[in-house]
Each structure stands twice: as C-alpha cells, then as structure tokens.
Structure 1
C-alpha cells in the first residue's frame, strides 16, 4: 500500500495502523468532534455522532510519527476532556495551543463563537523553532464549498511550514476535502491522507490532481526555456 503523495479512502485506524513506525514527520488534522454537526444546508460529517472510532486513531498516529514530530489537531471545545485524555493516553505531550480569530460568528448560543482552536502536540522531545509561529492567527474562511467543515489552505500552510521541512511527510487521517494535503503539496512536502467518505475522496483527488499540475508547471517551463536556449 502506498503511503506517499496519496489519499487512501477507508478507515484511518486500519490504514495508519499499517504504516511503518516513525514514517510520518507531521500530522495536521481536523477530526470529527463527536457533536452531530449539521451545517446550514443540512450536510453532516460521518462518524461525528460518536468519538469511539475517532479517538483511537491518535494511538496509531503516535506510533507512526517520528520521535520529536508534531501533531496539530483541531478539536471541539465541548469535547476537550475526551480529546485531551486520548492524546495523553496515546503518549503525546501538549506543546502549545493555537487560536484563529474570525470576524464573523460561526454560531450563536450562550456566546457568539468567533474563533477556531487547535492543540500542538509532540512525541517526545522536539527542537525549538528558530522563529516560533504566533499562537493567535487570522482566520481565512474557506466557504465550506467542498466539505461542511473545510479549513482554508491559507490557514493550514503556515502550520506545515513552521513544523516541518521540505520533503517531509505530512499526514491527515481525517482528510475531508483534502485541504491539508493541498497545502502540503504547495509548500514542497509529501503527503498522506485518509478519508472515510468516498464522495470526499473523489473531490480531494480531483483537487490534488490540479495541484500536481500546478506544481509541475514551473519545472516544465524551466525545462522548455533551457531547451530553447540550448
């Protein structure tokens, strides 16, 4: 089974569980939150009614991650007790917390919700970055056209640049529309994604095909120019 520059459609526990130990350099993911999410158009997220099959994936991610590697996971604030317990049980140490501020409210109940959040987790000891990323970042709205909880590539790219190097393998076990994989490819990283729903796998693969062509164009143009000059 290929684990590089690919999107696998299936169960993350099985697919990540089949990976070699220490193969992944960075995990960036936005898992189902276990909140039965439904957007304004009625779209839902599969497996979002329970965390029973979601949280065990972090055990597999910890094993597949290299020592000193980071896992950046978005989460639902009202399930943080479950997420934190699972992260720590897997072996992760909390290295930081990030917040993205929105200029609009994504939901209104007791409060108007104007932010998204993620924890930065680490396996073992990691080197400190030369220029740490600010823990408060501006939000970019994706439009959620391809997926009900789609994150913008502009939100994910700084994370990948800051916590990995060119050529590293970036993994997203809950890939959705493939935004993490697109961001990884655009900044020169290898990628591996897993997505449970076939319709989103198709969308993400189409998206990634376009990115591969986009990334290849400068190389092709340089080759053509060299050929013209020779």
Structure 2
C-alpha cells in the first residue's frame, strides 16, 4: 500500500485500499485526495450551493457561504470516478456559472438535466420556487441506460427532520438504479443525513459517504444500521 493510501486508512480506520460501506468524517476536499483513482461507479451528491441557506428553524449548512470552498472537490471526484461513469449533482441555480466552470474544469461533460416538481413553493421572490434540479455529468462515454428516466420527476418532501436540506430516499433510488448496477459503489462526498447512502443500501449497492459534521456522521450510522436490520 502506498503512502497516500496508508494515510487514508489511518485517517478513516479503513483497512482496505478501496473503502466501501464506510462513512468518512472530514472535509471532502481533503479526504478525496487520499482516495485512489477510478474506484467509484457512481456519484450522487447535493453540495452546498453557496447561498448561506438557513431554514425556518435557523439551521444552516456548513461551507455554504462561499462556493469556492467546495467546488474544487469536483476535480478529485472526476479522478476517483471510473471511466465511462456518471456523477449526478444537485446545484444552486443562482450560481450555475460557478458550478459549470468547476464541472468542466474537472473534465465532466453535462449529458442531462433533471427537474423535480414540487406541489408547494419553498420560497417566493420574483417567482414562486417550486422545483429542485440536478445535472447528469459524464466522465468519458457512459453506456446508455436500458430504461432512461424522464427528465421531469415528482418531488417527495423529506420533512427535513434530520438535516436542513435533506433529500427523500425515494427520489434518489431511481437515480441509483438507473445509473449503477447491483454491488457497485456509490459515493456521496457531501453526505449530510445520508439519504444517498440509505438509497444505495436499499438498492443493493455499496456506499461511501464523506461528511464534515460529526453529528451527521453519527446520524448516518444510525440510519444505515436501521436499514440493515
């Protein structure tokens, strides 16, 4: 095992060079640099949008004040992703130029856009905000899915009980089932409350999550233990 991989194992308690079914505590912009090349089959993530979000309970999201703090992670996300695979990333529409620059700089090519339609408005300003969206980003030339998803989906509200921007597991499972195979490894570098990891486990995939906040790491382990029983 090389020095980089040995350091990753010491940092996370992972003994294998290719960790899976693990939650790694730390800043993903640093943790990712200690992970090997081309070992992840699918990335599904909801990074901070750089909008200083605060929910009705006053909860905030770490590193949400400056997109430059997190967008550099996509360079390493491209590196750890296997060739001819995809990354699905939610994003903040107000900073879409920043996200696109980071994605293209990393090497990703946008190949699709998914919009989830809400039956309620999460906010009102010039418009009533009734959608969430994500880009489908390709590394290389991924195979086309046998049953492509519609690019318009119905939003399911999670209740945000565990995290201020928590995604419902049921909106993530179709993404994982469409763009990965059973037993493959799904990575979420901004894992939050762990919905991506739960969706991966439910669908028979392996998972790897990275999360900056220790309390959410503990929460994810509780959620995943419940799923596995």
* TM over 0.5, shorter chain: yes
Match of 1:226 in 2: none
Alignment of 1:51-200 (within 5 A): 51-200=67-216
Match of 2:47 in 1: 31
> Which runs of structure 1 show a deviation greater than 4 angstroms over 4 or more consecutive aligned residues?
none
Secondary structure, aligned partner of 1:66: strand
Q: Tell me how far apart the structure 2 counterparts of residues 54 and 32 of structure 1 sit (CA, whole Å).
A: 8
Give RMSD over aligned pairs: 0.7
Q: Tell me how far apart the structure 2 counterparts of residues 154 and 54 of structure 1 sit (CA, whole Å).
A: 26
Aligned length: 213
Does residue 18 (structure 1) correspond to residue 34 (structure 2)? The answer is yes
Tell me by how many angstroms 1:202 deviates. 1.1
Gaps of 5+ in 1: 214-230
Secondary structure, aligned partner of 1:154: helix
Tell me by how many angstroms 1:73 deviates. 0.2
Secondary structure, aligned partner of 1:180: helix
Cα deviation digits, residues 147-199 of structure 1 (max 9, x gap): 00000000000000000000110000000000000000000000000000111
Cα deviation digits, residues 21-79 of structure 1 (max 9, x gap): 10000000000000000000100001000112210110010000000110000001001
Q: Tell me how far apart the structure 1 counterparts of residues 126 and 226 of structure 2 sit (CA, whole Å).
A: 42
Decide which structure has the larger Cα Rg and report it: 1
Tell me by how many angstroms 1:92 deviates. 0.2
